[in-house]
């Protein structure tokens, strides 16, 4: 069961900027746990995209950025490209160190 | 090079117990900060976190599934095993194992390719 809420879909033209919100509560994001983001291309396993709220693993383009404030977080994709079309999930933890995922957002490149 | 691979039955019958094995390489689950988690994804749906075991053998379970789940590790074999009892068709999903390399609260930095489990009579 997802306890982090994301918009079901966002879309944008190539080159545009899109953002994905991730809304939690005082028992997860608001409790101080970091937020991590994953990209899932069709038919593949999720891939770590952003960790520790705003850090990019090696190899992830700087077009992807993350932020966190209060009980929410967001992922921004600037300079949208066709290969960014995928599902995106936020993830954090609750007060008992149980993992929690977002509801997922499908990004469509128009 | 870190790799993880899930293995187990592709088909189970309702009420049966599912046993999945995650075999990994490139790290040791006896190293401080290392954890392995199980995550599942029903077809066309979102990811769902199931369970986690850490280097100190501490275990954490999904609140909604904890009565059905057991996670364990065999450090010498580099394996983590998940059992789920009383399987139901709604448990049909791709099951992933994933590593956390920075302790509780860290990201899942490496994932297996997943194994699809179908529950049907």
Indicate if the pLDDT at residue A1 is higher than 70.
Answer: no
- Chain A nearest-CA distance from B77, in A, is 24
| Chain A CB contacts of B112 below 8 Å | 45
Indicate if the pLDDT at residue B56 is higher than 80.
Answer: yes
| Chain A CB contacts of B5 below 8 Å | none
- Using CB atoms, which residue from B39, B60, B105 is nearest to A33? B105
Beta strands A9-12 and A105-109 are parallel
Indicate if the pLDDT at residue B103 is higher than 90.
Answer: no
Full DSSP string of A10-72: EEE-TT--EEEEEE--TTTGGGT---EEEEE-TTS--EEEEBTTTBPPTT--TTEEEEEETTE
**Pairwise CA distance, residues B66 & B68, whole Å:** 5
| Chain B CB contacts of A28 below 8 Å | none
Average of per-residue pLDDT across A28-52 = 96
User: Taking chain A, what is the end-to-end CA distance rounded to the nearest angstrom?
Assistant: 30
Please report the pLDDT score of residue B117 as a whole number.
Answer: 98
**Pairwise CA distance, residues B29 & A64, whole Å:** 31
Q: Inspect the interface and report whether the beta carbons of A2 and B113 lie closer than 8 Å.
A: no
- B interface with A, Cβ–Cβ < 8 A, is 37, 39, 46-49, 52, 60-64, 96, 104-109, 111-114
With bands split at pLDDT 50, 70 and 90, how would you rate the model's confidence at A3?
Answer: confident
Predicted confidence (pLDDT) per residue in A23-37, tens digit: 999 999 999 999 999
Among B70-74, B94-98, B99-103, the range scoring the smallest mean pLDDT is B99-103
Please report the pLDDT score of residue A27 as a whole number.
Answer: 92
Q: Inspect the interface and report whether the beta carbons of A89 and B47 lie closer than 8 Å.
A: yes
Nearest CA in chain B to A5: B46
For the beta carbon of residue A27, count every other beta carbon within 10 angstroms: 15
Predicted confidence (pLDDT) per residue in B4-40, tens digit: 999 999 999 999 999 999 999 999 999 999 999 999 9
């Amino acid at each position: 069961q997802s306890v982090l809420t994301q918009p079901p879909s966002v879309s944008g033209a190539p080159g545009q900027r899109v953002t994905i919100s991730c809304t939690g509560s005082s028992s997860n994001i608001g409790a101080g746990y970091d937020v991590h983001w994953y990209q899932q291309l069709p038919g593949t396993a999720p891939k770590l995209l952003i960790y520790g709220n705003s850090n990019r693993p090696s190899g992830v383009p700087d077009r992807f950025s993350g932020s966190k404030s209060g009980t929410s977080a967001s992922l921004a994709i600037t300079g949208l490209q066709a290969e960014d079309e995928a599902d995106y999930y936020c993830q954090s933890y609750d007060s008992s160190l149980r993992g929690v995922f977002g509801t997922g957002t499908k990004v469509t490149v128009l | 090079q870190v790799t993880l691979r899930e293995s187990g039955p592709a088909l189970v019958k309702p009420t049966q117990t599912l046993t999945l094995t995650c075999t990994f390489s490139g790290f040791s689950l006896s190293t401080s900060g290392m954890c392995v988690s199980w995550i599942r994804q029903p077809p066309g749906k979102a990811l769902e976190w199931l369970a986690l075991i850490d280097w100190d053998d501490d275990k954490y379970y999904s609140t909604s599934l904890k009565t059905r789940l057991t996670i364990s590790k065999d450090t010498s074999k580099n394996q983590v095993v998940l059992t789920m009892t009383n399987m139901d068709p709604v448990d049909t999903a791709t099951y992933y194992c994933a590593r956390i390399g920075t302790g509780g609260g860290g990201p899942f930095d490496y994932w297996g390719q997943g194994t699809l489990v179908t529950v049907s009579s």
